[in-house]
């Protein structure tokens, strides 16, 4: 029995939280072939200084390394892909050391762009949290802006996004993932236009809060599948962490600057070798067959092929290679296969049974004044798609537990559901 088979057994017998804890202590190590070039040197530099999971270090470094390259390099895969990342670290509060992993990588970003960040109109910008779509678009406005967002708590981002005043945030983040050549948002004061933008996001949350943050609607609607959710793999305790070795730190900065200079001179869309295409095609055939299944996991994995090419791009540029080869695609596939298995545990309990959903809806109505609630408000709170909400409430109406009604004032009305009291 594999570690994932055992984790799935524990989901059925003991619940997802126990399974997630089991997995975090027994999950297979992060793919060894992914630790190559600057990724390996970054891990050797930061891993001895913190209890943070090496899986965190990989994705934090991939995020800042990709963002420092920006649109200098890309790869054509149905459209031009750039090495931007939307990454969320998932682990326990405090002891998971998510903030530590993020800060280690962000320190590298800050040093690489120290001069530009001081400019009156910097081309590279770090934003410690998104307040609104308008604020984010303002930061990206103009020509060739690269923005790295660090949202300390992913749940906070989603809560802000579901407020009426910033309800366009999720659609904007969804669209900006593709780093479009031209993106315009009409604000109250003026339209803001972004040209050749680049956006990466780094965030964190706990397993419990991940469930609170993301709804099935977010997954099936295409927002959540733009993110990589990175599980924690605990390491031995480190009672007195040492400082980062200065020599290793300076050498890594020099290497990254040299890579940037190479990308500036030899960048653009990289080619892909025939052998690399064949390796990817073999993987994709199996992945495509798996993805035809029902459930949330295939929906979450829609952009895994994007991330394979983004990582392969980073590996190739680190080698100063204008051609992406097997040696670059293979480790990228290994990483995303690891992510696929990790998602199976992280999202194991996201699909609640119909009975549980009915009980949640009835409890929600019970808590409202007059036991009545607008349909629109229930849609937001229950985190269901509109169709699922309709089916759920129709079943409760049919059995006489709930009635549909209209409420309003000043000549306007809204559809609502009211608990039937006997």
Partner residues linked to 193 by β-bridges: 184
SS (H, E, C) the chain: CCHHHHHHHHHHHHCHHHHHHHHHHHCCCCCHHHCCHHHHHHHHHHHHHCCCCHHHHHHHHHHHHHHHHHHHEEEECCCEECCCCEEEEECCCCCCCHHHHHHHHHHHHHHHCHHHHCCCCCCEEEECCCCCHHHHHHHHCEECCEEEEEECCHHHHHHHHCCHHHCCHHHHHHHHCCCCCEEEEECCCCEEEEECCEEEEEEEECHHHHHHHCCHHHHHCCCHHHCEEEECCCCCCCCCCCCCCHHHHHHHHHHHHHHHHHHHHHCEECEECHHHHHHHHHHHHHHHHHHCCCCHHHHHCCCHHHHHHHHHHHHHHHCCCCEECHHHHHHHHHHHHHHHHHHHHHCCCCCCCHHHHHHHHHHHHHCCHHHEEEHHHHHHHHCCCHHHHHHHHHHHHHCCCEEEEEEEECCEEEEEEEECCC
Same domain? For 274 and 383 the reply is no
**Statement to judge: residues 313 and 394 lie in one domain:** no
How confident is the model at residue 25, as a pLDDT?
45
b/e 203-223 (16+ beta carbons within 10 angstroms → b):
bbbbbebbbebbbbbbbbeeb
Count the domains in the chain: 2
Mean pLDDT of 12-25: 48
Range from 130-134, 247-251, 294-298, 382-386 carrying the lowest mean pLDDT: 382-386
**In terms of domains, do 73 and 146 share one?**
yes
Domain end residue (candidates: 322, 346, 370): 346
In sequence order, what are the beta bridge partners of 191?
186
What's 282's domain CATH number? 3.40.50
pLDDT at 229 over 80: yes
Does residue 153 sit in the same domain as residue 298?
yes
Give 114's pLDDT tier (boundaries 50, 70, 90). confident
Residue 11 has pLDDT above 50, yes or no: no
Domain boundary among 285, 315, 346: 346
Tell whether the model's pLDDT for residue 17 goes beyond 80: no
> Both 278 and 384 in a single domain?
no
Task: Name the more confident of 318 and 395.
Answer: 318
Assess whether 256 and 153 both reside in one domain.
Answer: yes
Tell me the pLDDT of the chain averaged across its residues.
Answer: 86
CB-based contacts of 286: which residues, under 8 Å, 6+ apart? none
| Same structural domain, 99 and 159 | yes
- pLDDT on residue 212: 72
Tell whether the model's pLDDT for residue 400 goes beyond 60.
Answer: yes
Of 105, 49, 55, 97, give the one whose Cα is nearest residue 233: 55
- Beta-bridged to residue 268, according to DSSP, are 73
Last residue of a domain, one of 314, 346, 378: 346
Rounded to two decimals, the pTM is 0.80
Dist. CA 256–CA 320, nearest whole Å: 11
The answer, yes or no, to whether residue 366 has pLDDT greater than 80, is: yes
Q: Is the pLDDT confidence value at 26 over 80?
A: no
Q: What is the pLDDT of residue 16?
A: 45
Residue 229 CA to residue 218 CA, distance in Å, equals 14
The domain that holds 381 is classified in CATH as 1.10.10.10
The per-residue pLDDT for range 200-219, each reduced to its tens digit, is: 999 999 888 887 778 777 77
pLDDT confidence of 8, banded at 50, 70, 90?
Answer: very low
Residues 170 and 297 in one domain: yes
Residue 166 has pLDDT above 70, yes or no: no
Do residues 168 and 53 share a domain? yes
pLDDT band, residue 18 (cuts 50/70/90): very low
**Same domain membership, residue 365 and residue 303:** no
Domain shared by 288 and 193, yes or no: yes
- The pLDDT confidence band at residue 96, using thresholds 50, 70 and 90, is confident
CB-based contacts of 77, cutoff 8 Å, min separation 6: 305, 306, 309
Do 383 and 299 belong together in one domain? no
Residue 142's domain comprises 3-346
Q: By mean pLDDT, which of 89-103, 165-179, 309-323 is the weakest? A: 165-179
Residue 381 has what pLDDT? 75
> Is residue 9 very low, low, confident or very high in pLDDT (cuts 50, 70, 90)?
low
As a whole number, mean pLDDT of residues 146-155 equals: 92
- What's the pLDDT tens digit per position in 240-292? 999 999 999 999 999 999 999 999 999 899 999 999 999 999 999 999 999 98
- For 354, list phi and psi in degrees, rounded to 5: -60, -40
> Residue 165: what pLDDT?
52
CA pair distance 12, 31, nearest whole angstrom: 27
The better pLDDT of the pair 277, 360 is held by 277
Looking only at the bridges linking them, the beta strands covering 228-231 and 182-186 are: unpaired
């Amino acid at each position: 029995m594999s570690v994932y088979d055992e984790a799935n057994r524990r989901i059925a017998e003991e619940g997802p939280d126990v399974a997630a804890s089991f997995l975090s202590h027994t999950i297979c190590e992060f793919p060894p072939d992914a630790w190559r070039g600057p990724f390996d040197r970054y891990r050797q530099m930061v891993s001895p200084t913190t209890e943070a999971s090496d899986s965190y270090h990989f994705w934090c470094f991939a995020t800042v390394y990709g963002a420092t390259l920006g649109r200098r390099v890309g790869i054509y895969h149905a459209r031009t892909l750039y090495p931007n990342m939307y990454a969320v670290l998932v682990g326990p509060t405090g002891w998971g050391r998510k903030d530590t992993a993020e800060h280690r990588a962000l320190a590298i970003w800050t040093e690489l762009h120290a001069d530009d960040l001081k400019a009156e109109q910097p081309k590279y910008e770090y934003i410690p949290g998104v307040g609104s779509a308008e604020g984010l678009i303002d930061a990206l406005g103009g020509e060739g802006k690269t923005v790295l967002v660090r949202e300390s708590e992913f749940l906070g981002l989603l809560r802000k996004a579901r407020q009426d005043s910033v309800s366009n945030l999720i659609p904007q983040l969804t669209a900006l993932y593709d780093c479009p050549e031209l993106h315009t948002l009409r604000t109250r004061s003026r339209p803001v236009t972004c040209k050749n933008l680049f956006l990466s996001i780094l965030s964190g949350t706990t397993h419990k809060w991940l469930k609170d943050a993301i709804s099935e609607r977010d997954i099936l609607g295409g927002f959540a599948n733009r993110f990589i959710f990175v599980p924690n793999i605990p390491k031995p305790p480190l009672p007195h962490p040492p400082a980062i070795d200065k020599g290793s730190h300076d050498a890594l900065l020099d290497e990254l600057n040299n890579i940037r200079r190479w990308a500036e001179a030899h960048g653009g869309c990289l080619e892909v070798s025939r052998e690399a295409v064949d390796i990817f095609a073999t993987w994709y055939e199996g992945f495509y067959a798996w993805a035809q299944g029902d459930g949330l996991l295939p929906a979450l994995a829609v952009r895994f092929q994007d991330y394979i090419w983004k990582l392969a791009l980073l590996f190739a540029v680190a080698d100063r290679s204008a051609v992406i080869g097997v040696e670059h695609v293979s480790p990228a596939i290994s990483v995303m296969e690891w992510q696929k298995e990790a998602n199976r545990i992280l999202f194991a309990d996201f699909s609640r049974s119909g009975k549980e959903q009915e009980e949640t809806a009835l409890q929600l109505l019970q808590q409202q004044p007059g036991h009545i609630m607008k349909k629109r408000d229930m849609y937001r709170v229950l985190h269901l798609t509109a169709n699922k909400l309709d089916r759920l409430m129709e079943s409760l109406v049919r059995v006489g537990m709930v009635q549909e009604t209209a409420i309003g004032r000043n000549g306007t009305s809204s559809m609502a559901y009211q608990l039937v009291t006997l």
